[in-house]
Amino acid sequence: METADDFLLELKPRLDTLVERYERPAFIADDPISVPHGFDDPRDQEVIGFYAALLAWGRRSVILKKAAELAERMDYRPYAFVRDFNAERAGARLAGFTHRTFQPQDVLALTGALSHVIHAHGSLEGAFAAHLPNDAPDIGPAIQGFSDTVLQHAQLPRLRKHVARPSTKSACKRLAMYCRWMVRPGPVDLGLWTAIRPAQLVLPLDVHTGRQARKLGLLLRTQDDWRAAQALTARCRALDPGDPCRYDFALFGLGAYDDQPSK
């Protein structure tokens, strides 16, 4: 009788092949991660990367267009724009910016809150790390604490639907993806942060990733929520304890290109 360990050992080489196929520099151009890659200063990469991750739903071409528009509105100096936040000036620069349900009042309140975060913690990394205990198995507490802090400073209830928290049972896909960008080393991810270990990352889970994970037998839970994201990560951690999120590239390939792990 095949055990769970046998099943994972059998699946691992096929998933590793997919990771090798997609975790390459060529992946960057059509992905939202291309937005922070377009900046040289790590502080700019960290800040614009957060906005790009938060805007990352819908058609990719539209996401990239809106992220580029936002960078232009910030005079291509996103870190300075946020750090030196001035409500009147920022309001004028951000007026009219929309992406789906993300409205000008949302981006303005978010930018003001991020300014508070940067002044209090020195960086967005510092704000995430401040809420992560040394023995935390994953980044759940960091996402929860960061989001709570942002929402507290923003004082805009409607922003809650854009800034996810595990406590609401959200899978926190976009924030998990942002942390992946910041923590994992290249060639695709940026590897800017050192306060969080790759082993603590949680796979970004959405309907497409969940569908592929269930087809492979990596996920049994039917809801795409935080518990499902943790469960999927646990299976991937069994495949690679130090870097479970590398398998995000395999699940992406299966979903985006209808690839097959046996090819």
Assigned token pair, 144: 């929860």
Low-confidence ranges of the chain (pLDDT < 70): 1-4, 257-263
Is the pTM for the entire model greater than 0.85? yes
What distance in Å separates the CA atoms of residue 1 and residue 4, rounded to the nearest whole number?
Answer: 10
Give the type of residue at 26.
Answer: A
Segment holding 65, helix H or strand E: helix 60-73
pLDDT tens for each residue of 86-145: 999 999 999 999 999 999 999 999 999 999 999 999 999 999 999 999 899 999 999 999
- Extended beta strands in 14-105, E state: none
